Amino acid sequence: MPLNIGDTASRSKTITHEDVLAFAQASGDTNPVHLDDAYAASTRFGRRIAHGMLTGSLISAILGNDLPGPGTVYLGQEFKFKAPVFIGDTVTATVAVVNYRPDKRIATLRTTCTNQDGVLVLEGEAVVMTP
């Protein structure tokens, strides 16, 4: 299926305690702001937050499964983390094609994540090689 400027895809996920633990184990990022209730309570967030890259990984799920889809390979990704994601938040990740070079099969996509209240928690841009 050819890509067109403006094509979009989204996925939503509720971030659970188990997701945060699994991400910490897989990544090795055991920062107590993610894992320790007492420590997190003493931070500016007042409670535990999800790893930023856990939130960012929702973008990867869209790229590899939905748009452009299976066979997509990351060439680059820029993230700006705009607001914290808390355990129990439902995050909706969205990608939108902003440029496509069919001769090179290179797509540039705007990437965003919002929480259940519509707050932008992440924004950025991905560059991928399409299948």
User: Three-state DSSP class for 75?
Assistant: strand
pLDDT in tens, 33-47: 999 999 999 999 999
**Residue whose structure tokens are 């399409």:** 130
Rounded mean pLDDT of 55-79? Answer: 97
Q: For the chain, which domains are there?
A: 8-15+53-129 (3.10.129.10)
Tokens read off for 33: 């702001």
Q: What is the pLDDT of residue 2?
A: 78
C-alpha–C-alpha distance, residues 39 and 93, integer Å: 28
pLDDT in tens, 11-30: 999 999 999 999 999 999 99
- Sign of the CA dihedral running 35, 56, 13, 22: negative
- Check: CB of residue 93 under 8 Å from CB of residue 79: no
Distances (CA, A) of 87 to 19, 52, 66: 9, 12, 25
Percent of the chain topping pLDDT 90: 98
Band of pLDDT at residue 114, cut at 50, 70 and 90: very high
